[in-house]
Amino acid sequence: MSDSDGVSGGVAAPAFDRNTVLIFDTTLRDGEQSPGATLNLGEKLEIGRQLARLGVDIIEAGFPIASPGDFEAVTRLAQDVGQMEISPVIAGLARASKMDIDRAWSAVQWAKKPRIHTFLATSDIHLQHKLRITRNDCVEQVGEMVSHARGLCKDVEFSPEDAGRSDPEFLWQVLAVAVKAGATTLNIPDTVGYCTPVEYAAMIQGIVKNVPGIENVIISAHCHNDLGLATANTLAGIRAGVRQVEVTVNGIGERAGNTSLEEVVMAIHTRRQYFGGLRTNIDTTQLVRTSKMVSAMTSIVVQPNKAIVGVNAFAHEAGIHQDGMLKNPLTYEIMRPETVGWTETNLVLGKHSGRHAFSERLKTMGYELARDELDRAFERFKVLCDKKKTVTEADLEALVADQFENINEVYKLGALNVTSGTGTVPVASVRLIDEEGESHEDAALGNGPVDAVCNCINRITGADAKLTEFHVHAVTEGIDAIADVTIRIEMSNGGGKKFVFSGRSADTDTLVASGRAYLSALNKGLRSKQTVK
């Protein structure tokens, strides 16, 4: 992997173009840290390929030392998405330790453009209470570890974690050491979402003024949304000199989430003059498609009023607005829905559609399935066509997401029967099939039909899972609509601590979808128990 200088591998960091804001997508790393958003390998690859189509410059594929699964996912993304003709940089996260950095390099080295992203906290709160090291220890560790990373890879990003609450002068000192040791990007995280836009911009300006060598590196913004200011802070950072933004699709992430990719991109696009003519490399028409895919695969529903990608983002309800829109859309619309990928492609396929048309349709939606995956999806599509007259893109999205979600199952749903009504206690009987193909059956009562199904699955599997959230939504209009069920459960993974797992399933029968969604979340919990052991 080393190039001709024999020093370090990969290629140099992206060319420095002051007029372009680089989009660093961390949906697969910080975004996946949302409670219950765990993605399997197949889902990560699909999202990675869609991010490349969207035009992101850098994909943070994961935290390779975190688990063998994370290592494998980053490696596969580097080998697949990282080898595409026009491939994004593939970054792997590492704490500022040799072991972490070596592990990250082992995973990202297969990409055409690999990056090591290493971090160490700089706020006194973190140094004293979390790391229990002095400021001097911190400075020394940053110098050594950035230089170690740089010995492996030409493209190295350094983040002073909790920069937003760090003493500015100490922050400049640490950043200067990182630049000297070879960092090519300096990322400035507001880790706890504490800053206001004016403060965040001032922090960037302070760095621009006081860090020697800063003119040779890219400054990056990484904001969390605890006070609902992540996008505002990131945009303020751009005005102050930031040229890389760390964002997630739909703004998903730890706690209140990260800066939302689509919001920053469309702010730059729509208010180009305000941002001094800056641009991004994003194909904005792919935004809605990407949002839908991430929502489907993480089981995190997008709120209807979410900017850009929420279903109501372009809906005008008030009569006065509708009147204005009919006269001239400019009256109430600052961007066109088509610009971000909202299209009227409702009627797509029917029972006479062939395999080729089906696979082409999926491709335009961003899904490139392997042959066996396509076979399974096509089979389910045909079953659906018998139940539903018109199959829309939304139906296909639900069908494919369900298929990706329900692989690697510990238990499969064999049969489900529910009796409920007035004057009777709901009762469910369920048959589950385990990995050896053995059947397990039981019956249980519940407060309602869904509760009865969940109780029954718990009885069979012996799991201590508890349903904490349940959402059902009709994918399309009409009596024959698919029910898309998203659930969250709380479950211990063996060590006494409770973890959140999510599940999603779609079926024309709401109770079947509920049972499968519950089982899907439970399977993730059972799998994580197996890996903990």
Residues that bind Zn ion (CB under 5 A): 30
Give the 3-state secondary structure of residue 165. Answer: helix
Task: Give burial (CB, 10 Å; 0-12/13-18/19+) of 505.
Answer: buried
* By CB under 6 A, residue 64 contacts ligand KIV: no
Least gap, CB of 226 to Zn ion (angstroms): 11
CA distances from 398 to 130, 251, 316, 482, 513 (A): 42, 21, 26, 8, 11
Number of Cβ within a 10 Å radius of residue 517:
33
Closest to ligand KIV by CB, 224 or 527:
224
Instruction: Record the tokens describing residue 107, joined without a space.
Output: 């995973």
Identity of the residue, 165 or 504, whose beta carbon is nearer to ligand KIV in the bound complex: 165
Q: Which is nearer to ligand KIV, 220 or 284 (CB)?
A: 220
Tell me if 53 sits within 8 A of 88, measured CB to CB.
Answer: no
Q: Does 126 bind ligand KIV (CB under 6 A)?
A: no
Residue from the set 189, 366, 449, 515 that interacts with ligand KIV by CB under 6 A: 189
CA 452 – CA 429 distance, rounded (Å): 8
Q: Is 159 in the site for ligand KIV (CB under 6 A)?
A: yes
For the purposes of burial, counting CB atoms within 10 Å of the CB of 204, is it exposed (0-12), middle (13-18) or buried (19 or more)? buried
The two three-digit tokens of residue 260, written as one number: 């939302």
Residue 488 engages ligand KIV in binding (rule: CB under 6 A)? no
Residue (119 or 411) nearer to ligand KIV, CB = 119
* Pick 26 or 284: Cβ nearer Zn ion: 26
- Residues 453/511, Cβ–Cβ less than 8 Å: yes
Phi, psi of 217 (to 5 degrees): -125, 160
- Residue 150 contact among ligand KIV, Zn ion, none, beta carbon within 5 to 8 Å by kind: none
Residue for token pair 């997401």: 401
Could you tell which of ligand KIV, Zn ion, none binds residue 488, using a CB distance below 5 to 8 A set by kind? none
Nearer to ligand KIV, 226 or 283 (CB): 226
**23-42: contacts with ligand KIV (CB under 6 A):** 30
Residue carrying structure tokens 């709380």: 490
Residue whose C-beta lies closest to Zn ion: 30
For position 262 contacting ligand KIV by CB under 6 A, the verdict is: no
CA–CA dist 472, 486 (Å, integer): 6
Q: Please report whether residue 222 would count as binding ligand KIV according to CB under 6 A.
A: yes
Neighbours of 261 (CB within 10 A): 34
The entry of ligand KIV, Zn ion, none that residue 159 binds, CB within 5 to 8 Å by partner kind = ligand KIV
Q: Which lies closer to ligand KIV via its Cβ, residue 73 or residue 460?
A: 73
Q: Is position 71 an interface residue for ligand KIV (rule: CB under 6 A)?
A: no
Q: Taking CB under 6 A as the rule, does residue 57 contact ligand KIV?
A: no
Residues in the chain: 533
Beta bridge partners of 471: 486
Minimum separation from the CB atom of position 383 to Zn ion (A): 42
**Least distance (Å) between residue 264 CB and Zn ion:** 15
Q: How far is the CB of 93 from ligand KIV (least distance, A)?
A: 6
- Our CB check for ligand KIV shows the closer of 252 and 513 to be 252
As given in the structure block, the two tokens for residue 216 are 């040779």
Q: Rule CB under 6 A: is residue 164 a binding residue for ligand KIV?
A: no
Label residue 268 left, alpha or beta by phi (over 0 means left) and psi (-120 to 50 means alpha).
alpha
Q: 114 has which bridge partners?
A: 90
Shortest distance in whole angstroms from residue 203 CB to ligand KIV? 14
Please report whether residue 397 would count as binding ligand KIV according to CB under 6 A.
Answer: no
Minimum distance from residue 405 beta carbon to ligand KIV (Å): 26
Contact stretch for ligand KIV (CB under 6 A) within 125-133, 184-192, 310-318, 438-446: 184-192
Place of tokens 């059972």: 526
Both tokens assigned to 74 = 């980053």
Q: CB under 5 to 8 A by kind: which of Zn ion, ligand KIV, none does 263 bind?
A: none
Burial (CB count <10 Å: 0-12, 13-18, 19+), residue 509: middle
Residues that bind ligand KIV (CB under 6 A): 30, 119, 159, 161, 187, 189, 191, 222, 224
